[in-house]
């Protein structure tokens, strides 16, 4: 099913993101996690591409099994990193041959060890170019793109970043999935600015429950997201207490999600980090507040 069609129904679209494990023996653990996540009836599972396209083949394989064997709709990530147009076209063909209908089109982060993105000769330098290429193939796809409530870390301003986002939508994107963030005011401001800019496709906020202090400090430093002062102080106080950190992180995510639902957000995207417990706990705390079919 095309994700774009999910938003035409009177429901809250629930999605979960996973990543291809580096070790082959962890792939089966991932499938077990996805089986566990069936309890929340996700509308789709998003499968990332890996830094520098390093897990390209695993992304296709994992997305295919989730869709065709486990029975949950999927969205496969696709990036411009280290890939020519021909190589990207080959991946798209593989996705199509595996009955995958949804793509998240991304420029992608620079490969490990590099600080700046460098366009591959014969490839694409921006996500809007990738979206346009997918559309040019005369095939039917539902295409998502990334949005950044606090602005992309490389962008000089949020307003400039929204101009880039509009280019992606104007090139053919059907919906937007947001980067992780922790202040809903940032998301509501972002939503207001995008609508004023003429971006009218569905925008799904990304929820990343904090389960480990050091992990979230690293992730936010890389993507430029900020942690609100009151939350940061709590996390710092219990940074050596994993149980308390997890409790604080999940409780915060529940409250963050409830506020979004109260404001009639069209969907919620959970960054699972290949674990089921936090996502299920959050979902069980909000399920009576959302519309599902």
Give pLDDT, residue 293.
74
Give pLDDT, residue 55.
64
Give pLDDT, residue 23.
86
251 classed as catalytic: no
Give pLDDT, residue 113.
64
Fold of 3-288: TIM Barrel (3.20.20)
Give pLDDT, residue 52.
53
Give pLDDT, residue 24.
83
pLDDT along the chain (293 residues), means of 10: 96 97 91 98 93 70 97 97 93 97 92 75 94 97 98 95 98 98 98 98 98 95 94 96 97 98 97 97 97 84
pTM of the model as a whole:
0.95
Give pLDDT, residue 54.
53
| Tokens representing residue 83 in the block | 């890939």
Candidates 17, 73, 129, 246; catalytic one: 17
Contacts of 92 (CB under 8 A, 6+ apart): 78, 103, 134, 137, 139
Domain boundaries, the chain: 3-288
Give pLDDT, residue 271.
98
Own/partner contacts of 119-124, CB < 8 Å, gap of 24 or more, are 119/80, 120/80, 120/81, 120/82, 120/83, 120/84, 121/84, 122/84, 122/85, 122/86, 123/80, 123/83, 123/84, 123/85, 123/87, 123/88, 124/80, 124/85, 124/88
């Amino acid at each position: 099913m095309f994700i774009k069609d999910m938003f035409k129904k009177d429901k809250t679209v629930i999605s979960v993101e996973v990543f291809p494990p580096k070790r082959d023996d962890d792939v089966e653990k991932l499938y077990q996690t996805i089986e566990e996540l069936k309890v929340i009836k996700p509308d789709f599972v998003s499968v990332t591409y890996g830094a520098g396209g390093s897990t390209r083949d695993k992304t296709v394989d994992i997305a295919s099994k989730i869709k065709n064997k486990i029975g949950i709709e999927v969205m496969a990530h696709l990036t411009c990193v280290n890939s020519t147009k021909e190589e990207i076209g080959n991946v798209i063909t593989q996705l199509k041959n595996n009955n995958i209908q949804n793509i998240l089109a991304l420029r992608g982060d620079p490969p490990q060890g590099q600080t700046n993105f460098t366009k591959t000769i014969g490839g694409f330098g921006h996500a809007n170019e990738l979206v346009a290429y997918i559309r040019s193939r005369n095939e039917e796809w539902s295409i998502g793109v990334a949005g950044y409530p606090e602005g992309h870390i490389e962008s000089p301003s949020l307003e400039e970043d929204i101009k880039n986002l509009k280019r992606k939508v104007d090139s053919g994107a059907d919906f937007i999935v947001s980067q992780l963030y922790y202040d809903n005011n940032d998301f509501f401001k972002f939503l207001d600015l995008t609508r004023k800019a003429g971006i009218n496709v569905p925008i799904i906020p990304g929820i990343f429950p904090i389960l480990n202090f050091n992990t979230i400090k690293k992730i936010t430093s890389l993507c430029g997201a900020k942690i609100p002062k009151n939350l940061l102080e709590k996390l710092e106080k219990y940074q050596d207490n994993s149980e308390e950190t997890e409790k604080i992180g999940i409780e915060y995510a529940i409250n963050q999600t409830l506020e979004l639902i109260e404001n009639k957000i069209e969907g919620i995207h959970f960054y699972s980090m290949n674990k089921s417990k936090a996502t299920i706990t959050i979902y069980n705390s909000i399920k009576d507040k959302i519309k599902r079919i």
